[in-house]
A and B are shown apart, each in its own frame.
Chain A
C-alpha cells in the first residue's frame, strides 16, 4: 500500500493562539520554526494545492474533440456517480480493502509480535527478510509475479500440472483481483510490520514486569498489553492501507499487458482516471473522477479514525 501521507489523513492542527506576551526567545524560536517549515509549504502549495485547485476547476468544464471547451457545472460529477465503470472500480477496490487489508495487517502484526518476543540472535535477519519485498519496486514485483502466475510456463502452473491438479488460471477475469491482493500483501507486509515493530519496541518494560507478576503468559501479554499499547501505530497502518487500496494503480496497469481482457479500463478508479485522461482524451472527466475518489478516501479514512477513537475511549472508561 502507499506509504504516502495523502491529502486526507490529518489536517495540521490550528496554530496555537499567540499569547499576548511572548518572550523574545520564544519569538525567535517561532521564527526559526516557520523558516524550517517554509520549504515544505512551498512544495506543498506548488505541487499539491495549486494542481488540486486547478483540477477542481477543470472538472467543472467539458471539452470535446469537436467544439472545444464549455462550462458544464457539476455534469462530470453527475456522470461519474452513474458511471458503471467508475462505480465498478470503486466496488472492486472496496472488496480489495475488505479482504486484503485484514490479512495483510494481521500477518504483519503476527510477525511483529513474533519478532518482538524473539530474544534470539536471528531476529534481525528475519526482520530484514520480511521487509525485503517492500524494497522491490511495485513495477518489478508485478512483473515478477506476472511470470510466476503464467499459465503455460509459470512455475506454479507447472508444479500444479505435475501434481495432476490442472492449470490454475491466476490471470482470468474472475481471479485477477485475488492474484493482485496476493502481490500487494507480499509487497507490504514487511512495511507494516516495521511500523508495528518499532511501536512495540517503545513499550516501557514496567508494563511487562507488572503483567508477569500477574502471571500473564506470552499470548495474554500480546493481547492485553502489547496490542492496546500500539493501537495508534496499527491505526496508522490501517489509514495508509485504505489510501493504498483505493488508489491501486501500478498493479492493474502492469498486469494489463498480461491479461488485457481481465483488466478493464475501469479496473480501479485511479486506473480509470488515467485511461480517461490519456486514452479517451477526456481530461475534464478524469479530473472529476480523481476528485471524487479523493473524496471517497477522505470520508472512509475519517470514519475509520472516528470509530477507532470511540472504541479506544470506551476501553479506557471500562478499565
Chain B
C-alpha cells in the first residue's frame, strides 16, 4: 500500500463487510452452546473420530504442524488444516469478523487467556464440559485451569503459560558488587542504584506501554483488578491502594533514573538487551528462550531467579501471557474439534513436543514433572536448570485471577493513560485513577453493570 487507505473505501468497506452480517443476526453465537447438552458418550466420540472430517485450526504457534501430524496419525480420518492468520490482535479481529459473518471461522482457535471472556460474552465458544473436559482439570496447574474454567464451564484447553521470574546478567550484577539476585523489592531498589552507579546499566526496563507486565506485577501482589461473572457484571478496580503501592514503587525507580522505560519488543529494545543497556528483565517463562534468540552474543552471562518479593521470605509470582486452544461454538464438528484441542495440549507426546521443540512453557503437570524436560541445563544461562526453576515458580502463581470481556480496550487505554505518564516520568498512581475512570465509563457505555 503506497497510499493512505481511503476512509471511504478501505475502512467503510471493512466495516460494511463485518456489519452487513451483524444486522442479519444479532450476536455471534449459535444459541445452543452446550448449556443444555447431555454428556457425549464414548460411542459418539468413536463414531465422530472415524468419520472423514475436515477441521480448520487457527494458531500462530510455529511448526505446530508437527503436533497436528501426531493427531492425524492417531485419527487418520480427520484432516486438519492449520492456518496462521496473524499473531494477537489481527488474529482476534479476523476471528471476530468470521464469527459475525457466520462463515469462515475455524473449528479450533488459539486464544490467549485474557481474551477468553471477550469470546465467552458473545457466546462464540463451545462449553467443553459435556465433552469431558472437566476431567482434565488435574492435568494442569491450578491457576492455569482457572483461566480456562473460572466457573462451571470449560472454555478452552491450556496450551502454554508465562509464570514470571527475573532474568539478569550475572556479570553486570557482580561488577556492581551484587552476588545474589535481589530477594525483595527493597533489595531490588538498592541493587538498581548500585548497578546504575557502578556500571551505567539499568537493572531492568519497564516497558512504558506494556500492560501485560504491569498486570503481572499486580497479579504477583495479590491484586485483583478485574472481575467478570460471565454475563453482564464486571468488576474494575485498577486503582486500589495495593495497586497504587506497586505503582509508587515503580514511579520512584523511574524518577530516580534507575529503571529505563523504553517501549519493549522493538529494535531499540532488542539492542538494549543484547548490549547490556539492561542488566535484567522481570519477565515470563517464555522469555528465557526468546532471549537466546535476541541476545545471542551474551550467552552464558545470564541467570534466572524468582521475582523479587514484597514480603521477606514470601514465594509468590504472577503470570504474563500464554495461550489456550478453544473450540468455536459454530463448529460443525464439535467432537472432533474438541479432541484436536485436547490432543494438542493433553497428549503426553504432543505436550512434551510443544515444550521441547517450540519451547512453550508448559501448564501440563505431565511435562512439569518430566525429568527429561525439568533437568535440562541451559548453556545460555551458564548451565542453570532454568526449566526446573520456572516449574517451581509455576506452583507459586496465585490461582484466582480474572479478566474483563474487553481486554483489547483495556490494553489500548493502558498505553494511552499509563504509558504516556511512564514515558514522561510522571506519577503512575494518579494515572491509575484516569485509567480506572476510562474503563468504568466504557463498561457502562457498553451496558455492563460495574461493581
CB distance from B442 to the nearest CB of A (A): 7
CB distance from B280 to the nearest CB of A (A): 18
Within 8 Å by CB of A281, from B7, B208, B406, B416, lies B406
CA distance A150 to B7 in the complex (A): 30
A274 and B11 form a contact (CB under 8 A) = yes
Name the residue of chain A whose CB is nearest to the CB of B446: A65
A1 and B22 form a contact (CB under 8 A) = no
Q: CB-CB < 8 A to B208: which residues of A?
A: 260-261
Q: CB-CB < 8 A to A265: which residues of B?
A: 412, 416
A279 and B232 form a contact (CB under 8 A) = no
B15 and A63 form a contact (CB under 8 A) = no
CA distance A51 to B17 in the complex (A): 8
B20 and A54 form a contact (CB under 8 A) = yes
Q: CB-CB < 8 A to B445: which residues of A?
A: 64
CB contact list, A128-176 vs B, under 8 A: 134-139, 147, 150-153, 172-173
CA distance A226 to B424 in the complex (A): 50
Interface centre among A6, A51, A273, A274 (most CB of B within 10 A): A51
> Any chain B CB within 8 A of the CB of A4?
yes
CA distance A153 to B416 in the complex (A): 25
Within 8 Å by CB of B19, from A58, A67, A273, lies A58
- Cβ proximity bits B28-62 to A, threshold 8 Å, 1 near / 0 not: 00000000000000000000000000000000000
Q: CB-CB < 8 A to B263: which residues of A?
A: 257-261
> Any chain A CB within 8 A of the CB of B209?
yes
Stretch in contact with the other chain, from A25-33, A111-119, A202-210, A282-290: A282-290
Q: CB-CB < 8 A to B448: which residues of A?
A: 65-66
Stretch in contact with the other chain, from A214-222, A242-250, A304-312: A242-250
CB distance from B4 to the nearest CB of A (A): 5
CA distance A249 to B2 in the complex (A): 11
A290 and B12 form a contact (CB under 8 A) = yes
Name the residue of chain A whose CB is nearest to the CB of B265: A257
Q: CB-CB < 8 A to A287: which residues of B?
A: 12, 15, 19
Within 8 Å by CB of B22, from A65, A69, A264, A279, lies A69
- Cβ proximity bits A22-62 to B, threshold 8 Å, 1 near / 0 not: 00000000000000000000000001101110110010000
CA distance A50 to B166 in the complex (A): 55
> Any chain A CB within 8 A of the CB of B18?
yes
- Cβ proximity bits A66-107 to B, threshold 8 Å, 1 near / 0 not: 111100000000000000000000000000000000000000
CA distance A138 to B19 in the complex (A): 29
Q: CB-CB < 8 A to A297: which residues of B?
A: 7
CA distance A152 to B278 in the complex (A): 13
CB distance from A290 to the nearest CB of B (A): 5
Q: How many A-B residue pairs have CB under 8 A?
A: 163
Q: CB-CB < 8 A to B4: which residues of A?
A: 1-2, 138, 244, 247-250, 270
CB distance from B348 to the nearest CB of A (A): 39
CA distance A287 to B18 in the complex (A): 12
> Any chain B CB within 8 A of the CB of A280?
yes
CA distance A4 to B122 in the complex (A): 38
Name the residue of chain A whose CB is nearest to the CB of B447: A66
Within 8 Å by CB of B6, from A6, A54, A147, lies A6
A54 and B16 form a contact (CB under 8 A) = yes
B277 and A64 form a contact (CB under 8 A) = no
Q: CB-CB < 8 A to A244: which residues of B?
A: 4
Q: A66-B447, A247-B6, A279-B412 are in contact. Are A286 and B16 (CB under 8 A)?
A: no
> Any chain B CB within 8 A of the CB of A293?
yes
CA distance A48 to B6 in the complex (A): 10
- Cβ proximity bits B208-235 to A, threshold 8 Å, 1 near / 0 not: 1100000000000000000000001000
Within 8 Å by CB of B11, from A6, A47, A153, A290, lies A290
> Any chain B CB within 8 A of the CB of A232?
no
B3 and A52 form a contact (CB under 8 A) = no
> Any chain B CB within 8 A of the CB of A223?
no
Q: CB-CB < 8 A to A147: which residues of B?
A: 267
CB contact list, B167-213 vs A, under 8 A: 208-209
CB contact list, B261-283 vs A, under 8 A: 262-263, 266-268, 271-272, 277
CA distance A264 to B438 in the complex (A): 14
> Any chain B CB within 8 A of the CB of A110?
no
> Any chain B CB within 8 A of the CB of A225?
no
CB distance from A35 to the nearest CB of B (A): 25
Interface centre among B15, B272, B409, B416 (most CB of A within 10 A): B15
> Any chain B CB within 8 A of the CB of A278?
yes
B5 and A247 form a contact (CB under 8 A) = yes
CA distance A180 to B4 in the complex (A): 13
- Cβ proximity bits A251-265 to B, threshold 8 Å, 1 near / 0 not: 000000111111011
Q: CB-CB < 8 A to A137: which residues of B?
A: 1-2
A7 and B8 form a contact (CB under 8 A) = yes
Q: CB-CB < 8 A to B26: which residues of A?
A: 68-69
CA distance A65 to B96 in the complex (A): 13
A280 and B16 form a contact (CB under 8 A) = no
CA distance A280 to B93 in the complex (A): 11
Q: CB-CB < 8 A to A58: which residues of B?
A: 15-16, 19
Name the residue of chain A whose CB is nearest to the CB of B264: A260
B15 and A286 form a contact (CB under 8 A) = yes
CA distance A136 to B442 in the complex (A): 40
CA distance A2 to B408 in the complex (A): 30
B446 and A66 form a contact (CB under 8 A) = yes
Q: A66-B446, A277-B15 are in contact. Are A257 and B266 (CB under 8 A)?
A: yes
CB distance from A311 to the nearest CB of B (A): 28
A280 and B19 form a contact (CB under 8 A) = no
A152 and B272 form a contact (CB under 8 A) = yes
> Any chain A CB within 8 A of the CB of B420?
yes
Interface centre among B6, B12, B16, B267 (most CB of A within 10 A): B12
Within 8 Å by CB of B415, from A135, A258, A260, lies A260
Q: Which residues of A contact B (CB under 8 A)?
A: 1-4, 6-7, 47-48, 50-52, 54-55, 58, 63-69, 134-139, 147, 150-153, 172-173, 244, 247-250, 257-262, 264-265, 269-270, 273-275, 277-281, 283, 286-287, 290, 293-294, 297
The 6 closest A-B pairs by CB, nearest first: A66-B447, A55-B12, A261-B419, A260-B209, A51-B16, A64-B447
Q: Which residues of B contact A (CB under 8 A)?
A: 1-9, 11-16, 18-20, 22-23, 26-27, 89, 93, 96, 121-122, 208-209, 232, 262-263, 266-268, 271-272, 277, 405-406, 408-409, 412, 415-416, 419-420, 422-424, 442, 445-448
13 sampled A-B residue pairs with Cβ under 8 A: A47-B9, A48-B8, A48-B9, A50-B16, A65-B121, A69-B22, A152-B271, A244-B4, A250-B1, A261-B423, A265-B412, A278-B93, A287-B12
With A65-B446, A280-B412 already in contact, 6 other A-B pairs whose C-beta atoms are closer than 8 Å: A48-B9, A153-B267, A260-B419, A278-B93, A279-B408, A287-B15
